[in-house]
Amino acid sequence: MTNARQFELRDDVTVELVKASASDADVIWSARVSTQGERSLEYLDADPERSEGLIRFLMRDRHSVPLEHSVFTFYLEAPIFVTRQILKHRISSISEHSGRYSELTGAFYIPSRERKLVQVGKTGDYNFVDGTDEQYVLTLHNLETAYQAAWDSYTNMLNLGISKEVARVCMPVAAYSSMYITVNARSLMNFLSLRKIDERSKYPTHPQREIEMVAEKMENIFAEKMPIVYKYFNEFGRVAP
């Protein structure tokens, strides 16, 4: 019986780099073609540190296309309410697990104790603050009660012979999904600018904490692969070029 399987609670997200064709050097030859034509080919293996000034200029003045030749593919596990938000960024290629084609694994998101629970202020002007221990305990209790009911209904319906695509509609947006995301450096910086709070940002952003957890992990990978671009992304206010 499917019903016997237990569901799992998680308070984290998974982000792994599957592959990347991305480096600071990509920005050099692709920018140089506009002024040097075929001689830009000489920069294919050049040391990008010697051209740091060019990268600084491109990022400062928001020249964008040279940032599009570097591409990353990430593997991601996150709750559906996060993957929905990711889908709204249209300039990427996303292959996602489907609850129509295979059974959901039964992993659900719960906030960790560090996750601020209470919103103070109103739409357009608000902050989040920690909740009390009681609020946290009751939140977990309410979430788990709902998850248990959803999981029971889901497995009951599967056992009754109902199709997966119908049975899964009772599952919460806290259920984990998995996906591959292929995105270029320009689009990735746009994602980071909107989904990660950073005091260096020129424009305010209010991402939900859980998508920010995804953005933080992607940002670490981006910083490692393209350190010079990353440096000036921050220096010039984290505005995607």
Binding residues for a copy of itself restricted to 57-96, rule: CB under 8 A: 57, 61-62, 65-66, 68-69, 71, 73, 75, 77, 79-81, 83-84, 87-88, 90-91, 93-96
Q: Residue 167, CB half-sphere, CA atoms under 13 Å: how many?
A: 24
Q: Is 112 in the site for a copy of itself (CB under 8 A)?
A: no
The amino acid that residue 183 corresponds to is: V
> What's the Rg (C-alpha) of the chain?
22
Single out the residue of 17, 178, 223, 232 in contact with a copy of itself (rule: CB under 8 A): 178
CA 64 – CA 187 distance, rounded (Å) = 10
Q: Is 97 in the site for a copy of itself (CB under 8 A)?
A: yes
| 172 touches 147 (CB < 8 A) | yes
What would the x/- binding string for a copy of itself be over residues 137 to 176, using CB under 8 A?
Answer: -xx--xx-xxxxxx-xxx-xx--xxxxxxx-xxxxxxx--
CA dihedral 44, 45, 50, 53 (to 10 degrees): 20
- 207-236 residues in contact with a copy of itself (CB under 8 A) are 208
Single out the residue of 9, 10, 46, 182 in contact with a copy of itself (rule: CB under 8 A): 182
Q: Is 102 in the site for a copy of itself (CB under 8 A)?
A: yes
The CB-of-103 to a copy of itself minimum distance in angstroms stands at 9
Q: Is 113 in the site for a copy of itself (CB under 8 A)?
A: no
Span from 2-10, 25-33, 214-222, 225-233 in contact with a copy of itself (CB under 8 A) = 25-33
Which of 90, 195, 200, 209 is flagged as catalytic? 195
| 57 touches 142 (CB < 8 A) | no
Single out the residue of 1, 4, 6, 35 in contact with a copy of itself (rule: CB under 8 A): 35
Nearest to 239 by CA among 191, 184, 181: 191
The CB-of-50 to a copy of itself minimum distance in angstroms stands at 17
Tell me, yes or no, if 113 is annotated catalytic.
Answer: no
Neighbours of 1 (CB within 10 A): 8
The amino acid that residue 44 corresponds to is: L
The amino acid that residue 194 corresponds to is: L
Residue 175 DSSP class: B
Catalytic machinery residues: 195
